Structure 1
Amino acid sequence: ISKALFIVALSFAYFSKALTGTYMKSSITQIERRFDLSSTHIGLIDGSFEMGNLLFLAMVSHFGAKLHRPRLIAVGCFLMAVGAFLTGLTHFFMGRYKYDTVIQVFQNDSVNIAACVDPLKTVEVPEVQIEESGSNMWIYVFLGNALRGIGETPVTPLGISYIDDFAKAENSPFYIACLQTITLLGPMFGFLLGSYCAKLYVDIGYVDLESVTITPKDARWVGAWWMGFLVSSGLLLISSIPFWFLPRSLPKQEGEEVKPTPARETVDGTEDALNSNHNLKLTEIAKGFLPSLKRLLGTPAYFLLLCGSILKFNSFIGLLTFKAKYMEQQFGQSASRANFLIGVLNLPAVAVGIFLGGLLMKRYKLSVVSGAQLSFATSFMAYLLLLLQFGTKCDNIPVAGLTISYNGSWIAALIDETLFAECNSDCSCSAEEWDPVCADSGITYISPCMAGCLGSSGYGKNTVFHNCSCVSASYPAGSTTSVKLGQCPHAKDCSRSFTSYMAISVLSSFINSLGATPGYMVIIRCISSELKSLALGIQTLATRTLGGIPAPVYFGALIDSTCLKWSIKKCGGRGACRIYNSDMYRYPTVEMNAITLQQQHV
């Protein structure tokens, strides 16, 4: 019963922590906009999870193998629950979300707004809209994510080594593959939860939704990002309960003899008293840490696999962190739809790939060398498929003054002067505004003022601006001079490119994950049994430190370099990006992943 209970409990813990982690990834765009941060800063926040791992992972992996592993896992799950709760609680420390719009001042009144006169400069705005509400609250998100990283440290290395200790050698890969497959339900539900919450307005229940003039596809939209963290916190808390009642160790499965070997002596030559003395002092355990680490890193096969894992993890983390955002910016998808598609298409393909990889190991009893070859072959095929994604793209949205000039010609290089034209020179417009409006011609203007609009009708989301001089200047031959709220959508042929992108992405996910379990088992089988927990811990530590921490930051910095229009914080300074150069955005996202995968094969 204890064996089955442990596998079920560990599966649920893996499910819960994976759900929380991927929900964080799915909420990147929402958090970025809510706290008005750049992609570089949001990458730093995302990397705080790995920073928490860095602090304790090596010690937990080493000492944990010699202590009560199930109870350490229980403590870890509880800490993750507290971290997720703190992250979601940040929302309640902040004021209501306010976005820049000319409609905001007039609320639901059907007033004729002469945007060209810039009414925001002539109407007295309440002081609360000038203040920067909760500008530093992102620190609590950073700390909550770091605490979640600390709590995750004992779960993976101690859980896997606990299973491998009581299972038969031929059954261990299958158990681990099943565990990883069940775990992938977590990311699926994490992205689906992210999709649902992204549809809901951030202050749902506190504001009249009829007064909200933006839609989920708007660059200013912020979903109810906080809600999913409260849900995941409850799941993590529940997952910690069963581990308190599990024994320190389990008997080996029938048919598997435990043979006494010299490896059951510690590195400093003293007898391993783990099974006979549960009160072994930590100082005695610590004596063997550095010799064990030296012995582990001196294993050539393990060291090479470790280097490959670091490179691959860089690619994986960078892609996963900004994948939904890439789909939003490159193909015009909403955050909700992007998260939904990742959850129902990409992740099931990954789950099937991991399960089949474990099944291949069990059915054909693949050796360490065969497992390594399978892992290499699948990674290389995924690399080739990734290169195909260069051909799936959408053109930049025509935005007057940013991607095209006011007379309709494409802009080669962006300068501040291109934002203004003769048609809006008398409007006293601000270049810092981002309140986009769309003309029937498909051209987006960054604000009604920049479009030179002299009047309006309707209110709220249904406001239409009329007599826009820049629209009539670009298309004088009988075209309407009206614009409506919101950014213009991508061209119709963009949907075909997006379909091709998703097909390649799903196939690449399946092939790459097919080699995940064989690669994982190679690491376990190429080292001696008493170093197993330490090896898994060091691998997780190295990949998280050299991949998980820097990857979101430098991917975010590269993405920031493609920004065309930044928001400006009310207290001054650069905020979140409103629109990117689609052509340039494609290169850091696809090219960096291709480079890291290529280096791994070399």
Structure 2
Amino acid sequence: MVANQNEDRRYGCGPIKLSCTQRLNSIRWHVFWQCIFTFFDGFIVSGVVNVIIPALEKRYELSSSKSAIIVSANDFGAFVLLIFLGYFGERRHKPKLMGAGILLMAFGCLVFSLPQFIGEKYAYTISEHSSKNGSCNLCSKRNTTSSCSSDVGEIKEYYKVYYALFIVGQMLLGIGAVPMFTIGLSYIDENCKQKLTSFYIGLTLCSDAVGVATGYIVGGSFLNVFVDVDKLDVANLPLTSSDPQWVGAWWIGFIIAVPAFILVAFPILGYPRRLPGYEELQKQRKSEAYDNDAEEITAQASFVLVVVITICKANMVPNPVHVFDFKILM
């Protein structure tokens, strides 16, 4: 029985448990990977998404109410799974659930960026002050020819599909992040010394805040790149970033996040259900507790904290700036 426990607590994916990778089998390394994840989660969900909303509204003719639904879809997706996983996830293999959630977020980023790759080129209006050569090979929105009008009508029908993809992508991002922010924090708590729990959890939340700030900065810089840089020769583009018709490359941040999430998911998947030394830590905690119910009280308090955080985030959905401030205060 002891041999089976030792084997179960070795680091590795499936039957592959190399001795050279056992250095990663510690709570410090797990917190490191979790910090990388929370950085990119904040980078995309609370940083890049909030920056690119004006570009999406202009590119796909979205109203403010529709763009608000896109932003809120992340929290709605998380809310569906949050309380359920926070309770029942304690009985499952936590690192596997966390890794699966991260891979789901990578897929969500891919879904969110699909409209750029399956859609048509951006049709903009050429004005005299913005045109370099007075002509353009794209269909102008002011053009009244029958061929152009039919094309524009067909394009607007596709916008409904793109809008649905944005919502689905955001919901996948919200659902995928749930395991890390619920059972992920619990995994840290039960596999480290009690005096280090707050420090490690603080590091993960700090990484999330840094990711948000980075997402605003980097996402804003991506908007200085033309949206169809992957389809056109931007050297001959008759628009500048100061032109009212300009739309920035809103999708680049999501393409960067896809491999980033995948690269973080696999190290997380390699961790065992419980790290080596789990029993010793639990014995030490029981000896430091005032009574035998201390562990249960701590678990209940953690669950209540998750519910309170969810309610606060839901109340601040209409104002992304307040969500950003809330994460920093944590």
Q: Give me the TM-score of the superposition, normalised by structure 2.
A: 0.75
Q: Which residue of 2 aligns with 1:26?
A: 51
> Aligned-pair distance for 1:536?
3.5
Query: Letter of the aligned partner of 2:259 in structure 1?
Result: G
Q: Alpha carbons of 1:129 and 1:102: their partners in 2 closer, same or farther (altered >3 Å)?
A: farther
Query: Letter of the aligned partner of 1:538 in structure 2?
Result: V
> Aligned-pair distance for 1:256?
7.3
> Aligned-pair distance for 1:541?
2.9
**Which one of the candidate residues 531, 534, 545 is aligned to 2:300?**
531
> Aligned-pair distance for 1:192?
3.3
Query: Letter of the aligned partner of 2:30 in structure 1?
Result: F
**Structure 2, unaligned stretches of length 5 or more?**
1-24, 136-141
Q: Which residue of 1 aligns with 2:259?
A: 234
For 1:179 and 1:36, the matched residues in 2 are separated by 37
For 1:128 and 1:122, the matched residues in 2 are separated by 10
Q: Alpha carbons of 1:85 and 1:205: their partners in 2 closer, same or farther (altered >3 Å)?
A: closer
Q: C-alpha offsets along residues 14-33 of structure 1, whole Å, 9 cap, x if unaligned?
A: 12212221111221121111
CA RMSD across the alignment: 3.2
Q: Alpha carbons of 1:257 and 1:122: their partners in 2 closer, same or farther (altered >3 Å)?
A: closer
Asked if residue 4 in structure 1 is aligned to residue 28 in structure 2, the reply is yes
**Which one of the candidate residues 185, 189, 192 is aligned to 2:217?**
192
> Aligned-pair distance for 1:145?
0.6
Asked if residue 547 in structure 1 is aligned to residue 316 in structure 2, the reply is yes
| Contact 2:133/2:238, CA 8 A, preserved across alignment | no
**Structure 1, unaligned stretches of length 5 or more?**
111-119, 267-527, 556-588, 598-602
Q: Give me the TM-score of the superposition, normalised by structure 1.
A: 0.43
- Equivalent positions of 1:75-474 (< 5 A) are 75-102=100-127, 108-109=133-134, 126-127=148-149, 130-133=152-155, 134-136=158-160, 137-209=162-234, 212-250=237-275, 251=277, 257-259=284-286, 261-263=291-293
Q: Alpha carbons of 1:93 and 1:58: their partners in 2 closer, same or farther (altered >3 Å)?
A: same
User: Secondary structure of 2:29's partner?
Assistant: helix
> Aligned-pair distance for 1:255?
10
Q: Which residue of 2 aligns with 1:279?
A: none
| Contact 1:200/1:224, CA 8 A, preserved across alignment | yes
Query: Letter of the aligned partner of 2:159 in structure 1?
Result: S
For 1:93 and 1:142, the matched residues in 2 are separated by 16
> Which stretch shows the higher mean deviation, 73-82 or 162-171?
162-171
Query: Letter of the aligned partner of 2:206 in structure 1?
Result: T
| Contact 2:132/2:238, CA 8 A, preserved across alignment | no
Query: Letter of the aligned partner of 1:225 in structure 2?
Result: W
Q: Which residue of 1 aligns with 2:84?
A: 59
Q: C-alpha offsets along residues 66-124 of structure 1, whole Å, 9 cap, x if unaligned?
A: 222111111110111110111012211211111233459x98358xxxxxxxxx67878
Asked if residue 37 in structure 1 is aligned to residue 62 in structure 2, the reply is yes
| Contact 1:157/1:536, CA 8 A, preserved across alignment | no
> Which stretch shows the higher mean deviation, 536-545 or 5-14?
536-545
Query: Letter of the aligned partner of 1:13 in structure 2?
Result: F
> Aligned-pair distance for 1:46?
0.4
Query: Letter of the aligned partner of 1:263 in structure 2?
Result: D
| Contact 1:23/1:191, CA 8 A, preserved across alignment | yes
Q: Which residue of 1 aligns with 2:22?
A: none
| Contact 1:61/1:533, CA 8 A, preserved across alignment | no
Q: Alpha carbons of 1:90 and 1:533: their partners in 2 closer, same or farther (altered >3 Å)?
A: farther
- Equivalent positions of 1:494-573 (< 5 A) are 528-548=297-317, 551-552=318-319
> Aligned-pair distance for 1:245?
1.4
Q: Alpha carbons of 1:70 and 1:121: their partners in 2 closer, same or farther (altered >3 Å)?
A: closer
For 2:172 and 2:238, the matched residues in 1 are separated by 37
For 2:231 and 2:255, the matched residues in 1 are separated by 18
For 2:152 and 2:191, the matched residues in 1 are separated by 62
Query: Letter of the aligned partner of 1:542 in structure 2?
Result: I
Higher strand proportion: 1
Query: Letter of the aligned partner of 1:81 in structure 2?
Result: A
> Aligned-pair distance for 1:173?
2.1
Q: Which residue of 1 aligns with 2:4?
A: none
For 1:71 and 1:85, the matched residues in 2 are separated by 21
Q: Alpha carbons of 1:536 and 1:217: their partners in 2 closer, same or farther (altered >3 Å)?
A: farther
User: Secondary structure of 2:244's partner?
Assistant: coil
> Aligned-pair distance for 1:128?
5.9
User: Secondary structure of 1:108's partner?
Assistant: coil
Query: Letter of the aligned partner of 2:178 in structure 1?
Result: T
Q: Alpha carbons of 1:165 and 1:28: their partners in 2 closer, same or farther (altered >3 Å)?
A: same
For 1:27 and 1:77, the matched residues in 2 are separated by 22
Higher helix proportion: 2
| Contact 1:201/1:224, CA 8 A, preserved across alignment | yes
For 1:161 and 1:121, the matched residues in 2 are separated by 59
For 2:69 and 2:90, the matched residues in 1 are separated by 31
Q: Which residue of 2 aligns with 1:68?
A: 93
User: Secondary structure of 1:545's partner?
Assistant: helix
For 1:89 and 1:122, the matched residues in 2 are separated by 29
State the identity %. 24
